[in-house]
Structure 1
């Protein structure tokens, strides 16, 4: 067997740090660099994200420190949002010798999206977590003319362990920043949690949050649930909030409720039943189409009555619960590293763009946020923000004129 290469991951936000650590935890000698960006995890979030992963080699670093820290890596896993992956891939591709560039998504990735592929064009291997994801991303890549390799890895949070002892009584709601998105819908969820707590005053309803107030998350939350709950007046004493790890929250759970969080898969893997809330419909914008046919979709009445579900056996094989023997990502990495060493795997060029170094500085500033302290980044941002506003305004007026003419 080809020996396992030195793999180093670079991640910044809570969900990507958790994913990278869990994916690489079983890999001998793997390392994780937590990159300082505007959305980087706090020390408390980092501790929760690493809990139970088994990954020991972890450090925080700035963008300027990356070339030195990545020197000698044979494969680099870019575990970050698309715009940051694009910037990091350019940096990693310039290392000598250049490592194999890996990337992936930290949770449910159905439906496949063009932007997820576009930002990761320069990566050599895209890691996905179900047969369905591999099939849909492969089809989309062909349709969009994007060359990419895909590999399968069991979703780290779905690795089947010993089922959690069914002594829990908590209804755990896994909050998401992006879904549902609107104020009224999120207020409806807040009211549902209150009703669920009032219906069973002897059992807790736990609002599971990804971070404490002021801590950054992968996605910005416009209407936080704690604020919405506070607007409803006095709350039932058995309605609590928690920022503990999902692993800990599930230990005392009777069941988990979410719209489309990957926590549903994590719970099901541990034998905790689930409700995927469909009160707002089933739609790609809600990231819940993957649950069609799962038997997990249910409405508000089922939440209040605590009628939790287990996944349909006919659904699980193609959706995150395939046989781990089908996982091929690490074998693919070994193969690509061997080809790179032999000079048989040329690096991929960055996607052609207009703007040269100024464009690079602009994209780096957007990806790193205030963590980018370079003069070039500051200048690009000062010029680029108003220029982008003009371009967007022009496009809006042009589209309006086209609609009127049509």
Structure 2
């Protein structure tokens, strides 16, 4: 019997992981395999697996330009069942793109949870489609996903379930799917980071959750750095902790063109940088400051008050419109004075703190597994891209970067990057000012192309 559909073998795509026998497990235990690459998605996938009991959880970390370092991996897995240790050595492994299908077959996956940016998700789904016994495929985003973006749905439209994390997100993605005429089932989950956790009392740190692309302009990033310096100088007896996700030489989901730490002028001794897991940083926090990071939700779940900094405005391009009407918004003066806030209760219920009983995503997954076992689960294969082999090579190269060493990938990249950029700019210009665009601040979704595009090749 053919277990994997054949495909042309060339370069990196031809490499395979060592063959292994299917791993045994109790018949009643579902094996759920997470597949991810970047730090935020590894953390999301690991904590999603950790939110479900009675499963055999595994993780495959795929080698791409965004793949977590070992230190980032430890931080992302901290506090989960996949955390560092002997069990994790068996449960978490790294694979090439070409080895995904072989490993999934060997693991006999019932469910695959894909955590990654849209093009990564689609590339992985093509590998899953090669399996004759296709598992249930679940996808999602790793945090606050307001505004709901067209690409998030388009790239994940062939999954069996798309997970969102708030009542507001569920409404936004349902409306977005309707406008795009895309049928993708939605499942509601509690944001896995938003769990009540014990923390030490009497914390004194102001923890700032940095974001690579918010704000984006060098001038605004300099203003942000100056606010943090001022906050540290205002209270020299208390620390200001800049919580970063990557060290020099490491990557994260988005590319930081202007590193925040490089802009700190006259840095006081009590202004420090931390690479600890966010849960660790929050243990000694008086409050958390961010512009639009999901860390705000993680902090609120631990009882840590928050300032959602609105010094640069509140708009879709800053990815902070989810905090409107939250009671958390504050300016630079509030940060310097440490006037932290707790959320409006009505806002909280609609935004990531809904009743846990409403989070039915795992019930939906088990129902899909039963359909799969009965042979009634409708297939949702990813169709071949328009443009044939050249387009396929471009999609592969744009995700894998230097991990793809094929000539076809290099040629496709040379042709595809300027062409794709021109198409995106044209579409964005055409919709500028229209309803549901990035410049329309009236709603929670956008149907125009993604605002930010990170370089495929990143400087070291």
1:203 to 238, 257, 265: 238
CA distance in 1, matches of 2:306, 2:123: 38
Tell me, yes or no, if structure 1 residue 96 matches structure 2 residue 132: yes
Tell me, yes or no, if structure 1 residue 227 matches structure 2 residue 262: yes
| Structure number having the greater helix percentage | 1
CA distance in 2, matches of 1:148, 1:156: 22
**Offset of residue 290 of structure 1:** 1.0
**Offset of residue 392 of structure 1:** 5.5
Root-mean-square deviation (CA, aligned residues, Å) is: 2.0
Whether the 8 Å contact between 1:168 and 1:251 is mirrored in structure 2 is yes
Question: What corresponds to 2:66 in structure 1?
Answer: 39
Question: What corresponds to 1:25 in structure 2?
Answer: 50
Q: CA 1:392/1:121 → structure 2, altered by over 3 Å: closer, same or farther?
A: closer
**Offset of residue 320 of structure 1:** 0.6
Tell me, yes or no, if structure 1 residue 364 matches structure 2 residue 389: no
Q: CA 1:208/1:394 → structure 2, altered by over 3 Å: closer, same or farther?
A: closer
Is the partner of 1:76 in helix, strand or coil?
strand
Q: Deviations over 1:119-146 (max 9, x none)?
A: 1111110011111111110111011101
Whether the 8 Å contact between 2:101 and 2:130 is mirrored in structure 1 is no
CA distance in 1, matches of 2:44, 2:189: 12
**Offset of residue 84 of structure 1:** 0.8
1:69 to 103, 107, 121: 103
**Offset of residue 118 of structure 1:** 0.7
Is the partner of 1:6 in helix, strand or coil?
strand
Question: What corresponds to 1:58 in structure 2?
Answer: 92
Q: Deviations over 1:208-237 (max 9, x none)?
A: 1111112101000111101111xx2x3211
Whether the 8 Å contact between 1:122 and 1:351 is mirrored in structure 2 is no
Q: Deviations over 1:168-204 (max 9, x none)?
A: 1110110001111111111110000010011001111
In structure 1, the gaps of 5 or more residues are 400-406
Whether the 8 Å contact between 1:93 and 1:347 is mirrored in structure 2 is no
Question: What corresponds to 1:161 in structure 2?
Answer: 197
Q: CA 1:395/1:203 → structure 2, altered by over 3 Å: closer, same or farther?
A: closer
1:255 to 287, 292, 301: 287
Tell me, yes or no, if structure 1 residue 146 matches structure 2 residue 182: yes
Q: CA 1:395/1:134 → structure 2, altered by over 3 Å: closer, same or farther?
A: closer
Deviates more, 1:145-154 or 1:355-364: 355-364
CA distance in 2, matches of 1:81, 1:197: 35
Q: Deviations over 1:252-276 (max 9, x none)?
A: 1110000010000000000111000
CA distance in 2, matches of 1:269, 1:31: 26
Tell me, yes or no, if structure 1 residue 15 matches structure 2 residue 47: no
**Offset of residue 165 of structure 1:** 2.7
Is the partner of 2:101 in helix, strand or coil?
helix
In structure 2, the gaps of 5 or more residues are 1-26, 83-87, 431-460
Q: Deviations over 1:280-300 (max 9, x none)?
A: 111111111111111111111
Is the partner of 1:198 in helix, strand or coil?
helix
Question: What corresponds to 1:237 in structure 2?
Answer: 269
Question: What corresponds to 1:127 in structure 2?
Answer: 163
Tell me, yes or no, if structure 1 residue 354 matches structure 2 residue 386: yes
Question: What corresponds to 2:334 in structure 1?
Answer: 302
Q: Deviations over 1:348-401 (max 9, x none)?
A: 132563212221111011011111233432343344346557x559969x98xx
Whether the 8 Å contact between 1:166 and 1:254 is mirrored in structure 2 is no
Question: What corresponds to 1:404 in structure 2?
Answer: none
CA distance in 2, matches of 1:246, 1:393: 35
What is the TM-score when the length of structure 1 is the normalising length? 0.92
Question: What corresponds to 2:457 in structure 1?
Answer: none
Tell me, yes or no, if structure 1 residue 214 matches structure 2 residue 252: no
Q: CA 1:4/1:298 → structure 2, altered by over 3 Å: closer, same or farther?
A: farther
**Offset of residue 338 of structure 1:** 1.3
Q: CA 1:113/1:205 → structure 2, altered by over 3 Å: closer, same or farther?
A: same
Tell me, yes or no, if structure 1 residue 326 matches structure 2 residue 328: no
Is the partner of 2:187 in helix, strand or coil?
strand
Question: What corresponds to 1:108 in structure 2?
Answer: 144
Q: CA 1:140/1:188 → structure 2, altered by over 3 Å: closer, same or farther?
A: same
Is the partner of 1:29 in helix, strand or coil?
strand
Deviates more, 1:318-327 or 1:197-206: 318-327
CA distance in 2, matches of 1:170, 1:91: 45
**Offset of residue 313 of structure 1:** 1.3
Is the partner of 1:192 in helix, strand or coil?
helix
Q: Deviations over 1:150-180 (max 9, x none)?
A: 0011111101233x23311110110001111
